[in-house]
Amino acid sequence: MANDLVQPEKFFLNRFGMNESAFERILGSALERKADYADLYFEHRSAEGLGLEESMVNHTSKSVAHGVGVRVCAEDRTGYAYSDEVTIDRMRMAAEAARAIADQRSGAIAPVAVGNRVARHELYALESTPLEIPLEERARLLRQIDEMARAADPRIRNVMASFAAERKLVMVVTSEGRIAADIQPLCRLNVSVIADDGKSRQAGSFGGGGRVEWKYFFENDRWREYVRHAVHQALINLDAVDAPAGEMVVVLGNGWPGILLHEAIGHGLEGDFNRKGVSAFSGRIGQRVASELCTVVDDGTIANRRGSLNVDDEGTPTSRTVLIENGVLRGYLQDRMNARLMKMAPTGNGRRESFAHSPMPRMTNTFMLAGEATPEEIIKSVKRGLYAVSFGGGQVDITNGKFVFSASEAYLIEDGQVTRPVKGATLIGDGPDVLTRVSMVGDDLALDSGIGTCGKDGQSVPVGVGLPTIRIDGITVGGTRA
């Protein structure tokens, strides 16, 4: 079994008694009607989690799931069926259900010949994963987090910490004869605290992870840095004043504030929305859509990042895709079907939550490239404005890019200085317009710490975001004082 885990293709063949001939028969059955393409997606996922609250590790979980999904594409239609019982009969039944989208019988079809292995990246070849670390050692870390946070300040009244890890083996077999397989480790450590000074109660949170080993959290005292960030955010918000309201200059800090870029811009650059003409960016390739200071990329090839993949969930190697270059729209994020219908190349962005879901174009790690200004220069350039360091929840309308984001940590900028912390700040605007208002871009690009999860059409996938410090000339800030 251990050797099979190093070779995911062998794992599936041995575990479920499959062979290439069986794949060819099932895919051939899927194409019996007039269809353009079919594939099989195999998945085996092991996951464990534990959580601490009120100084006790009071939650543990462990799960194992596996299954297979069968997809058939005919023109712009997709049929999808899946089973958590991986047998030849079940796959044949799923293929028959999926091919029902094709409206007529096909003529003679070329036999499917499986055997072309897809060359994949090696972005997270780990010696071990956190799943192999004894549960007691993981629980000990959570207790250390609790002790450190409570010792930091007597106003810290509660601490919540959690650690989750998984190992996912996947294999994609296509009607074009390609086989792609991968082992995808993933883990995440979260820290949340509640501070109370008798007058106000505020929360702070931080965390991180990725496709990394257990030792990652101890390098450079990384877990301690998570605690310090969470405690700082909660205590700062105890002393915060009400946020001002109105249009003003906003400076976004580097790293996690890239979530605004992800939501307000990134989704609008996904291929399906643009093929259907419902995105604010539809039909605008080659046009200026942002300040010339803005270059935005999506890169699924960064080693060990939460949003990175050796191959996407259609078996296509991931890539670095330039979406906006010096303010000009250059392309979209594509899965196989939308790329084919738009006569473009797939970009390795076909993603799905599990074998129970059909893939769609999704982001991996999306960020803006660094500029030439220093963060200090950007702050000093602002007479009066808002400095947003971290964000909580947000919403966006893909059709027009309009967004609403709440800042979980923000400060006033007065006469070129960061001054008082504020609470209740909400940023309101629309993505395409915001990009045109970027007037300064910092030289301090940072990716987030590895906490991002993106939702779309009921599916959640891990992602990364990033941003240098940027100045935006005019965003509506929703606050509680004029």
DSSP 411-454: EEEETTEEEEEEES-EEEEEHHHHHHTEEEEBS--EE--S--EE
Rounded mean pLDDT, 72-80:
93
Helices 222-238 and 135-152: crossing angle, nearest 10°?
Answer: 40
Q: Give the model confidence (pLDDT) of 137-166 as tens digits.
A: 999 999 999 999 999 999 999 999 999 999
CA distance 224 to 152: 11
Angle at 338 between CA 334 and CA 340, to 5 degrees: 105
Bridge-based pairing of strands 459-462 and 464-467 is unpaired
Cβ atoms < 10 Å from Cβ of 354? 19
Find out whether 259 and 394 touch, Cβ atoms under 8 Å.
yes
Cβ atoms < 10 Å from Cβ of 278? 13
Rounded mean pLDDT, 198-226:
97
Q: Is the pLDDT of residue 34 over 90?
A: no
Helices 88-98 and 20-30: crossing angle, nearest 10°?
Answer: 20
Residue 6: predicted pLDDT: 61
Closest among 450, 151, 470 to 294, alpha carbons compared: 470
Q: What is the mean pLDDT of the chain?
A: 94
Q: Is the pLDDT of residue 482 over 90?
A: no
Sorting pLDDT into bands at 50, 70 and 90, what band is 105? low
Residue 1: predicted pLDDT: 39
Sorting pLDDT into bands at 50, 70 and 90, what band is 51? very high
Rounded mean pLDDT, 94-98:
92
Q: Give the model confidence (pLDDT) of 230-242 as tens digits.
A: 999 999 999 999 9
Rounded mean pLDDT, 117-132:
93
Written as one letter, the residue type at 16 is F
Q: Is the pLDDT of residue 71 over 60?
A: yes
Residue 478: predicted pLDDT: 86
Task: Tell me the domains of the chain and their CATH numbers.
Answer: 2-238 (3.30.2290.10), 242-478 (no CATH)
Find out whether 194 and 201 touch, Cβ atoms under 8 Å.
yes
